[in-house]
């Protein structure tokens, strides 16, 4: 309300301020949250606790980055749970079959899992584009196919990955943070590179910002879409690898909860669901918000079921804050 009042008085000056606000609102929320939890429980601010938050957040960050690209295109990808499960299980089988330690040829299981993710994403994109099925439905269905496939592959069993070298993702620390956090950081930079320094990355924005314009400019939108889903699949696979690295188990349930987590994180981070706005840094902030809440709630001793409620409210707040709803002609 206060903002509207200022807008009336300040006129054009407000538009700049609003943009700035929209841009920085998610980060502001994150800082406020951290400050709040720190006041309630000083131990929240320790390095060890931040390491714990980042360990938990790393796999979800990869998945959320994957879906960010798709959402920037104005589509949505809900196949992450199935894709993560299949990639985790495929990695585990391949890894054990090739020797079961990173010191052997089994390291090939890492690129193999990413290939599996790429293939799943590619198929997902093809189904969406060629069969002209809304991405929402196509990817959701593909997700179910993935979960089923992982189930068939494992027969419901869990596969343990005990290789000390692979598990050093979790157990080895540099400056207090485990290796997996740095791996996630590297892939975050890769995603940022794709977003800002490649034609593909710019095309995502072109498709999401105005598909008609993109087509009129001679852009092969279908190709961009399929590639977008493929890139998303690769990031889902990286998320799967980090998830396996974190708990040492690959199973059908490895993908559980990633859909809710990643979509929430992307939206809370300020990437608009109708495309063209946002990016990987927004997603990083969004993921951190989600996991800071998850960690902070337990650390200050609030019951778990409050967490989901708080996250739901945050999603609504984030959308209100981060988008100029007057510019949207209709809400579907």
* 147 counts as binding another protein under rule CB under 8 A: yes
- 8 A C-beta contact, residue 231 and residue 121: yes
* 299 counts as binding another protein under rule CB under 8 A: yes
Write down the least CB distance from residue 93 to another protein, Å.
Answer: 17
* 288 counts as binding another protein under rule CB under 8 A: no
Which one, of 193, 192, 166, 190, lies nearest residue 178 by Cα? 166
DSSP structure string for 44-71: GGSHHHHHHHHHHHHHHHHHHHHHHHHH
State the CB neighbour count (10 A cutoff) for residue 277: 19
> CA-to-CA distance for 99 and 259, rounded, in angstroms?
32
The smaller minimum CB distance to another protein, of residues 50 and 281, is found at: 50
* 144 counts as binding another protein under rule CB under 8 A: yes
DSSP state of 329: S
Spell out a b/e string for 125-139, using b for 16 or more CB atoms within 10 Å of the CB, else e.
Answer: bbbbbeeeeebeebb
* 44 counts as binding another protein under rule CB under 8 A: yes
The smaller minimum CB distance to another protein, of residues 18 and 52, is found at: 52
Q: Which stretch binds another protein (CB under 8 A): 16-24, 188-196, 234-242, 254-262?
A: 254-262
Give, in order, the Cα–Cα distances in Å from 321 to each of 25, 218, 271, 272, 280. 7, 35, 11, 11, 18
Judge residue 330's burial from the number of C-beta atoms within 10 Å of its C-beta, 0-12 exposed, 13-18 middle, 19 or more buried: exposed
- 8 A C-beta contact, residue 88 and residue 251: yes
Q: Where are the beta strands (DSSP E) in 165-310?
A: 173-174, 177-178, 249-250
- The residue within the footprint of another protein, chosen from 97, 220, 257, 324 (CB under 8 A), is 257
* 160 counts as binding another protein under rule CB under 8 A: yes
The smaller minimum CB distance to another protein, of residues 11 and 304, is found at: 304
* 170 counts as binding another protein under rule CB under 8 A: yes
* 298 counts as binding another protein under rule CB under 8 A: yes
* 293 counts as binding another protein under rule CB under 8 A: no
Q: Which stretch binds another protein (CB under 8 A): 51-59, 89-97, 187-195, 226-234?
A: 51-59
* 262 counts as binding another protein under rule CB under 8 A: no
Binding positions for another protein, 3-42, rule CB under 8 A: 41
Q: Which H helix or E strand runs over 30?
A: helix 12-40
Judge residue 14's burial from the number of C-beta atoms within 10 Å of its C-beta, 0-12 exposed, 13-18 middle, 19 or more buried: middle
Fill in the per-residue mask, 86 to 115: x = in contact with another protein (CB under 8 A), - = not in contact: ------------------------------
* 295 counts as binding another protein under rule CB under 8 A: yes
Write down the least CB distance from residue 94 to another protein, Å.
Answer: 21
Please, what is the Cα angle at 118 between 61 and 263, to 5 degrees?
35
The smaller minimum CB distance to another protein, of residues 227 and 241, is found at: 241
- The residue within the footprint of another protein, chosen from 73, 233, 294, 311 (CB under 8 A), is 294
* 309 counts as binding another protein under rule CB under 8 A: no
Phi, psi (degrees; rounded to nearest 5) at 79 = -90, 5
- The residue within the footprint of another protein, chosen from 4, 174, 305, 325 (CB under 8 A), is 305
Footprint of another protein (CB under 8 A): 41, 43-44, 46, 48-49, 52-53, 55-56, 141, 144-145, 147-148, 151, 156-158, 160, 167, 170-171, 178, 243, 246-249, 252-254, 256-257, 291, 294-301, 303-305
């Amino acid at each position: 309300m206060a903002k509207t009042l200022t807008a009336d008085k300040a006129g054009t000056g407000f538009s700049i301020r609003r943009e700035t606000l929209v841009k920085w609102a998610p980060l502001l929320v994150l800082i406020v949250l951290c400050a709040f939890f720190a006041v309630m429980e000083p131990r929240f601010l320790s390095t060890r606790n931040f390491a714990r938050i980042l360990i938990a957040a790393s796999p979800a960050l990869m998945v959320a980055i994957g879906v960010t690209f798709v959402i920037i295109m104005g589509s949505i990808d809900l196949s992450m749970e199935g894709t993560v499960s299949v990639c985790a299980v495929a990695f585990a089988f391949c890894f054990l079959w090739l020797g079961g330690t990173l010191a052997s040829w089994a390291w090939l299981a890492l690129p193999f899992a990413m290939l599996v993710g790429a293939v799943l994403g590619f198929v997902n994109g093809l189904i969406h584009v060629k069969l002209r099925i809304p991405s929402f439905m196509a990817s959701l269905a593909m997700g179910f196919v993935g979960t089923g496939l992982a189930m068939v592959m494992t027969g419901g069993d869990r596969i343990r990955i005990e290789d000390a070298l692979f598990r050093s993702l979790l157990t080895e620390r540099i400056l207090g943070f485990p290796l997996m956090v740095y791996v996630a950081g590297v892939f975050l930079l890769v995603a940022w590179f794709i977003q800002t320094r490649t034609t593909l990355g710019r095309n995502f924005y072109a498709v999401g910002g105005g598909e008609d314009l993109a087509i009129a400019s001679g852009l092969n939108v279908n190709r961009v879409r399929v590639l977008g889903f493929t890139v998303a699949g690769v990031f889902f696979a990286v998320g799967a690898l980090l998830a396996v690295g974190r708990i040492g188990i690959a199973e059908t349930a490895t993908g559980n909860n990633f859909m809710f987590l990643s979509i929430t994180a992307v939206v809370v981070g300020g990437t608009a669901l109708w495309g063209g706005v946002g990016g990987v840094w927004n997603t990083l902030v969004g993921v951190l918000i989600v996991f800071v809440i998850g960690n902070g709630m337990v650390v200050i001793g609030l019951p778990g079921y409050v967490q989901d409620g708080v996250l739901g409210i945050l999603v609504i707040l984030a959308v209100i804050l981060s988008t100029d709803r007057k510019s949207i002609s209709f809400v579907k």
